[in-house]
Every structure is written in C-alpha cells, then in structure tokens.
Structure 1
Amino acid sequence: MENVVLIIHLILALGLIAVVLLQRSEGGGLGMGGGGGGAMTGRAAATALGKVTWLLAIAFICTSITLTIFAAENASGSSVIDRLGVTPPAADRGETPALPDSDLLLPPSADENAPLVPTLD
C-alpha cells in the first residue's frame, strides 16, 4: 500500500510541476511582466489551470500526510542501532576511551637551527 501511495505522490509532484510551468506569468515575480491587456487575456484558461493546481496541491499534501503516517507506523519507537542489534564498543566494556597525552596535542617545537623555508637540494 505504501508503494502505491508513493507512486501516486510522485505522479502528483510531476503533474504539479507541469501545471505550474504551464501557467502564464502575471508579472511582479522577478520584475518580468506578463504583458498585454484587453478583451483576450486568457483569464479563463488561467483560472482553469489555477483550479487544477489547487486540486493537485491538495492531493499532494494528502499523500504527504499519508506517507508520514506510514513512516511513523514503521518506526515503532526504536532507533536504527536497536534494529541492527549491535551495541557500541564503549558500552561493552563500560569504560570511556582514554585521552591522548597532552604532549601529543601541542604543535612541535621549532628547532633553532632548522631553516624556516625548506630548501630544494
């Protein structure tokens, strides 16, 4: 059932993209005007595409919520580590890993006799 809803969701997403790209720009978005006025503006086609856009958007949201519910049911309150059945190594021994010596954390001291710029010999 989840795969069917997922396929419908993907078809709705592609349809929604197509319908939005088919719509005519009414200007104001990025400074590009839709242009034109008058009696033949294509407003009826724009409202039909607008209704299809709303219908696809509502269906897309419904399938999104349905997929979220399916994912929540499959999660069952356990983590990925619990599903693997492997315990972390630090939990097995009951120890915390040791820190390295503080001398290893410092940068190496500069040798007074060493040149600052490497030479190509």
Structure 2
Amino acid sequence: MQTVLIVVHLLIVLALIGVVLLQRSEGGLGLGGGGGGGVAGFMTGRGQANALTRATAILAAMFFVTSLTLAVMSHRAAGPKSILDTGAAVPGAPAKPAGTAPAGADNLLDTLRKAQDRTPETAPAQPAPESGPPPAPQSR
C-alpha cells in the first residue's frame, strides 16, 4: 500500500512541476507562452490562467494529502514502544548491581573485559619479544 502511494505521490509531483512550468511568468521568459511561440495558441489568456491556477491548487492539495498520509503510515509502521521493553529502571523495583547486563546482551565493553580477565592458561600463547639489538644489515 505504501509503495502504491509513493508512486501516486511522485506522479502528482511531476504533474505539479509541469503545471507550474506552463503558467505565464511575470518576467516574460517562462515556458508558459509569454513570447510568440510555445503554448500561446493552446488557450486564451484568461482561460489559461483560470485552468492552470485551478489545476495547480488541486495538485497542491493532493500533494499535501499524500504527504500527510505517507507520514502517518510511516509513523504507524514504527509501532509504539513500551518502557517495559527497554529494560529501564522501574520505580520501587530492586536495583541491579552495576556492571550486570541482561542475558545475551554482550556489548563491546563486556567482551573486552572478558578478554582481559582470562587467565594466562586459557589465553593464547604469544611469542616473547626478542631482547637485544636488531641484527645488522648485511652488505654485499
């Protein structure tokens, strides 16, 4: 449904752009038949102004309606959120000790703490750094 409404919205936008470009400009150099060519023979001056003004108003109203409908549909798709789902502290409930997280909620900091707390027996062996000066380059 939302995809169909987006397509209709885009068609309204394109039609609105076209109708606005067809209107006579105040400066005289617009696409709306201000000069000798263009759409000058299509409609007379007064009829053209009334029809294009009416079409612009109707398309603008349709644009606002589709925009508001898309915004409402987008907001409803997000769904309401409850504070019970976030794990926020509830007044009157016993407080959790600092550093405890819900089961399965390991973040980067918890992972690093676990890696740091490993004992040397379980840690992977790392080669010891060599002591002394580095070997001299050999010349040929």
**CA shift at 1:89, angstroms?**
2.1
Structure-2 residue corresponding to 1:60: 63
Structure-2 residue corresponding to 1:109: none
**Aligned counterparts of 2:55 and 2:20: Cα–Cα separation in 1:** 9
**CA shift at 1:43, angstroms?**
2.3
Structure-1 residue corresponding to 2:108: 89
**CA shift at 1:64, angstroms?**
0.2
TM-score with structure 2 setting the length: 0.47
Q: SS state of the match for residue 63, structure 1?
A: helix
Structure-1 residue corresponding to 2:25: 25
| Code of the aligned partner of 1:26 | E
| Alpha-carbon distance change, 70 to 88 in structure 1, aligned in 2, over 3 angstroms | farther
**CA shift at 1:3, angstroms?**
1.1
TM-score with structure 1 setting the length: 0.54
| Code of the aligned partner of 1:89 | L
State the structure with bigger RCO (CA 8 A, min sep 6), 1 or 2: 1
Which segments of 5 or more consecutive residues in structure 1 lack a partner in the other structure? 29-33, 36-40, 96-121
Summarize the alignment of residues 102-117 of structure 1 with structure 2, pairs less than 5 Å apart. Answer: none
**CA shift at 1:26, angstroms?**
2.4
Aligned residue pairs total 81
Structure-1 residue corresponding to 2:5: 5
Runs of 4+ in 1 over 4 A off after TM superposition: none
Q: Which has the larger radius of gyration?
A: 2
Query: Comparing both structures, which one devotes a greater share of its residues to helix?
Result: 1
Which segments of 5 or more consecutive residues in structure 2 lack a partner in the other structure? 29-33, 36-43, 87-104, 114-140
RMSD: 3.3
- Matching residue within 75, 78, 82 for 2:78: 75
